[in-house]
Structure 1
Amino acid sequence: AERTPDGFVFDVKAFSLLTGHPTRPALMPRGWPADARDPRILDEVWARFTAGIAPLRRAGRLGAVLFQFPPWFRPGARAETFLEQTARRTRGWPVSVEFRHPAWWRGEQAEATRALLARHRMAAVAVDMAQTLPASVPPVAPVTSPGLSVVRFHGRSAHWGTGSKEERFRHCYDEDELREWLPRLEALSGRVDALHVLFNNCCGDAAVRAAEAMTRLLGRTAKQAQGTGTGTA
């Protein structure tokens, strides 16, 4: 917070145990096992995570806490209970939620998912990824919180879910691929207080280059909109 300029905010990903991901024992406090079923362990992890982000909250620099749920986190009663518990634990925080199971945003379930997140005032995370895979999350961009909307660009590698981590995230966006999202981003920006566009194609400098290209495209769109009197993105 001290080293970054005014207005700079941080989006922090929730610790793996808090989202149901496998967690290495070496990362656990006091050498405890990574067992989310034990209330004592879960309470301790929540306490430490809360303390860890406290300096950002006090400085007004916490953009959002991202709860990215694993592919096996499917729609259903258990998942809804888990989200409700998470909402209680994070009351007062800016929270965004990314589902990796595509069923959350397909067909009739999409509206139920939107309503569920809106009820907990959690921002839905829109995802860009390859759309040719069984695990592909649809590129939908619903608004579920008036304060925030988040879009994450993961790259369009065909190795998603099968290759190494480097293979999954090795993708360099071209301007045509980024331009596809401009109408969605413009629509989102008019409906929320803040819009975060994040690049997760983190292989080499691909994410930085994509962010620079998107910044240019959005700047160009804003100037065009000002020139025609239709508002700015």
Structure 2
Amino acid sequence: MIYLGTSGYSFSDWIGEVYPEGISRSDMLKYYANVWRFNAVELNFTYYTLPTYRAIVSMLRKTPSDFVFCVKLPASVTHEAWRSKTFPEEDVKKTLQALTPMFEERRLKILLAQFPYSFRDTPNNRQYLQLLREKINAPIAIEFRHASWNNESVYRLLKTLGYTFVIVDEPNLRDLFPYVPKVTSAVAYFRLHGRNRDWFSAPEGERYNYKYSDEEISIFARDIFNLSQQVVDTFVFFNNCYRGNAVRDAMKLRQMIEKALLGG
């Protein structure tokens, strides 16, 4: 099964670009699922703030029963704990409790642990990956930003720990992790961030200001199609969210994949 969508869905700069003028934030997810017909979304707000049970139930009710979610773990787990040596037990407990309805309906497919550029391949950080596996008994996808993790011993470690490797696409700059289309579990997970050369200097929102060319998307389509034949589930999320580029590129990718599936 190939699940396709964007990293987040509620952006003010999407209004008038891809969402209609005047749409309310409360109607965005319904529009995302029913009008654009995406079958998955990656929730990123959970990185910044702990979700509430009520908010999660609302999302389930606004989407079809076959629509699924991938949820990013909070910053305390991926950006702070490995530095402080204190695991955020309470944050994890509250997050998982709030997500209970998604687990019960089998619509939460995987948790995303996106580590920062400063998280490099060291013995201590490998130990943290082992600790995270012990603390959370749920499917987890691991995203690295630093290229030091791009080696076969890391892929073996991910496989041993039962982690899904996140295939990232981002600019070819200063030891950012390269595009490596491979899998370490029964899941393929693509996060396509764009290739903005100003990655390290642009304001946070504009870091993802990039529109993929048809040629670039066609390469993704080929790799997604090929890997999808080797795994149970494939997730593809565009994170080049600036002014709705992620939506346009995801729709273009879907057309290419559908054509491939039809043998065109």
- Provide the TM-score with structure 2 as the length reference: 0.73
The reply to whether residue 112 of structure 1 matches residue 150 of structure 2 is: no
Pick aligned residue for 2:221 from 179, 182, 203: 182
Counterpart of 1:115, as a letter, is: R
The reply to whether residue 125 of structure 1 matches residue 166 of structure 2 is: yes
In 2, the alpha carbon distance for the partners of 1:97 and 1:66 equals 6
Task: State the SS of the aligned residue for 2:96.
Answer: helix
In 1, the alpha carbon distance for the partners of 2:238 and 2:195 equals 12
Pick aligned residue for 1:191 from 224, 230, 233: 230
In 2, the alpha carbon distance for the partners of 1:126 and 1:51 equals 28
Structure 1 residue ranges, 4+ long, deviating more than 3 angstroms after superposition: 35-39
Q: Cα distance, 1:176 vs. partner?
A: 1.1
User: In 2 relative to 1, CA 80–37 (structure 1 residues): closer, same or farther, beyond 3 Å?
Assistant: closer
In 1, the alpha carbon distance for the partners of 2:170 and 2:200 equals 12
Task: State the SS of the aligned residue for 2:70.
Answer: strand
Q: CA RMSD in A?
A: 1.7
Report if the CA contact (8 A) 1:141-1:184 is conserved.
yes
User: In 2 relative to 1, CA 180–200 (structure 1 residues): closer, same or farther, beyond 3 Å?
Assistant: same
The count of corresponding residues between Structure 1 and Structure 2 is 204
In 2, the alpha carbon distance for the partners of 1:207 and 1:135 equals 24
- Residue matched to 1:98: 143
- Provide the TM-score with structure 1 as the length reference: 0.83
- Residue matched to 1:223: 262
Pick aligned residue for 2:123 from 58, 74, 77: 77
User: In 2 relative to 1, CA 56–186 (structure 1 residues): closer, same or farther, beyond 3 Å?
Assistant: same
Q: Percent identity?
A: 28
Q: Once the two structures are superposed, what CA deviation does each residue of 1:89-125 show, in whole Å capped at 9, x if it has no partner?
A: 222x1210000111111xxxx2111101101111000
User: Which consecutive residues of structure 2, in runs of 5 or more, have no partner in the other structure?
Assistant: 1-59
Q: Cα distance, 1:56 vs. partner?
A: 0.8
Report if the CA contact (8 A) 1:21-1:69 is conserved.
no
- Residue matched to 1:48: 94
The reply to whether residue 87 of structure 1 matches residue 112 of structure 2 is: no
Higher RCO (CA 8 Å, separation ≥ 6 residues): 2
